Amino acid sequence: MSANWLGSAARGAGRTAVGCLTVGLLSGAAQAQAVPSERIEAFVAVMAEHGCRMSPFHADEVMPGAGFDAKAETKAITEQLVNEERARILDGQLVVFGGACGGKLDYSGRERFFAAIADNNCVMTIDEAKLLLPGVGVEMTEVQLLMDKMLRMSEIRLSSDEKAVFLEESLCDKFKGLSPQMMASAPEAAVEPRSADALRADFIAYMQGVGCSLGRSEADRQLPAAGFTTKELRPVIGAMLQAGEAEMNVADDSLTISEELCPR
């Protein structure tokens, strides 16, 4: 997580399509672009063909060929879907609801965020967010995606150093006491996690994009933003090390993928 509430979003997108979400989509001053409804539904239809959820690297392979190769448009579509509560970011991936994907949200990411702040005396720092947001089922990436809208609507305000966020008083009263309900609904449980093979393929694709080697400090900073968690990657990397597909350099604490999987 970044040092302030807008930091991750302000760094800009590093990949196309859904990657715009997980690498950092919006700056604090960014404005949503109007997208024709037919383009949004076409995007949802592509998502539906792939199980209504997509990792950044899967999106890089699929979306350009489906006619969504303009980064500005895919940014606008994903932002609009989240703002309209038709999409969530779960397990670092974009998950779409409604239209061709069917289903609906129980609590939106925005509502979960508000409940977490309300039950934390209506204010939350970055360090507190690291502990509290996962418990109510919302990821920091999604919060940052919604941040500009919430600020423009005066639903929240930031401290001068952007390290704390304050919830508007009436919203604090409305959402206070709802955190237990958010925790119990566990949105991740309703969505199938990536298979081991899909996770391995996504990780290899990511490593190919960063030169096939990654130090621990870089990994701690970059992998969560790219949609990976330590818990899910640990067995994947362990299996790759055992199979000789990767090597750990103890001297500089870095992981390098074999040339067979990651041509130099």
pLDDT tens, residue by residue, 199-211 = 889 889 888 888 9
Confidence check: pLDDT of 27 > 60 = no
Two tokens at 31?
A: 């404005």
Q: The dihedral of CA 37, 43, 46, 48: what is its sign? A: negative
176, 114 Cβ separation under 8 angstroms: no
What residues form DSSP beta bridges with 165?
A: 124, 158
pLDDT in the model for residue 103: 75
122, 167 Cβ separation under 8 angstroms: yes
Same CATH topology for 7-101 and 109-190?
Answer: yes
CATH of domain 7-101: 1.10.10
Confidence check: pLDDT of 249 > 70 = yes
Two tokens at 102?
A: 């069917």
Lowest mean pLDDT among 31-40, 140-149, 247-256: 31-40
pLDDT in the model for residue 63: 92
Give 53 or 77, the one with higher predicted confidence: 77
pLDDT in the model for residue 177: 92
Give domain limits for the chain.
7-101, 109-190, 196-257
Mean pLDDT, all residues of the chain: 80
pLDDT in the model for residue 166: 97
Q: Strand 164-167's sheet: what is its strand order?
A: 123-125, 164-167, 156-158
The stretch 188-205 carries a mean pLDDT of: 74
109-190: in CATH 3.20.20.140 = no
Report the b/e string of 174-211 with b at 16+ CB within 10 A.
ebbebbeebeebebeeeeeebeeeebbbbbbbbbebee
Tell me the DSSP string of 105-131: -SS-HHHHHHHHHHTTTTEEEHHHHHH
Q: Where are the beta strands (DSSP E) in 40-97?
A: 53-54, 87-90, 93-96
Confidence check: pLDDT of 30 > 60 = no
